[in-house]
Amino acid sequence: MSEKLVIGKEIKLKFNGIFDMSDLYRKMKFWLEWNGYGPEKGMEKAYIEKIKPNGKQIEIKWVAINDVSNYVKAVIEVTFFVLGLESVEIDKEGKKIKTKKGDIELRITGYLVLNADDKWNDNSFVNKVYKKFILKKNIDGYKIDLYDDLYDLHDEIKSYLNLQQF
């Protein structure tokens, strides 16, 4: 049976204002793929869109997986909550630009999955020795790498939203 080691739980980022939702979506997806969290069967696990009087309400859930070894997988889950998303037209340097305005909250969670494919019997002597002595240093390194990836993604999103000021 697989074991889950949570490294970062629901790291939140909130933004209210004008932003390009489709560009943010593309940039985040590109960042995940570039850093090895490719979509085995597609990252997007849920997409719910509702039309409300104050604009669109969107919830998106991604699960991005990086096979760091035959035994360990690093997983980054991203949940988008978008409220009041509406189209706006702004004037930038004399040009009219169509974009979006609303509230967005992102929640990023990262964890390692040990024995992800359930190839090893958890109670076996070999598995216990492998995890305790051989894999221990590697797991510590994987934890650090995943932690760095979580905060790099967080910083990338923050800088994009702050730079995307109109």
Q: Each residue of 80-108: pLDDT tens digit?
A: 999 998 888 888 788 888 888 999 999 99
User: CA separation (Å) from 115 to 29, 64, 134, 145, 151?
Assistant: 26, 17, 14, 18, 25
Higher local confidence (pLDDT), 110 or 43: 110
For range 134-158, the mean pLDDT:
90
Beta strands, E only, 68-140 = 72-92, 95-114
C-beta of residue 3 within 8 angstroms of C-beta of residue 127:
no
Q: What is the CATH number of the domain that holds 56?
A: 3.40.198
Please state, in angstroms and rounded to a whole number, the distance separating the CA atoms of residues 20 and 154. 17
Total structural domains in the chain?
1
Q: Could you tell me the residue range of the domain that residue 24 belongs to? A: 3-163
pTM for the whole structure: 0.85
- Mapping DSSP to helix (H, G, I), strand (E, B) and coil, where does residue 62 land? strand
Residue % of the chain over a pLDDT of 90: 45
Tell me the β-bridge partners of 58.
Answer: 49, 82
CB environment 116-137: b (16+ within 10 A), e (fewer) = beeebeeeeeebeeebeeebee
List, for residues 11-51, the tens digit of each pLDDT value.
999 999 888 888 899 999 999 999 999 776 678 899 999 99
Residue written as token pair 């999103």: 157
pLDDT at 57 over 60: yes
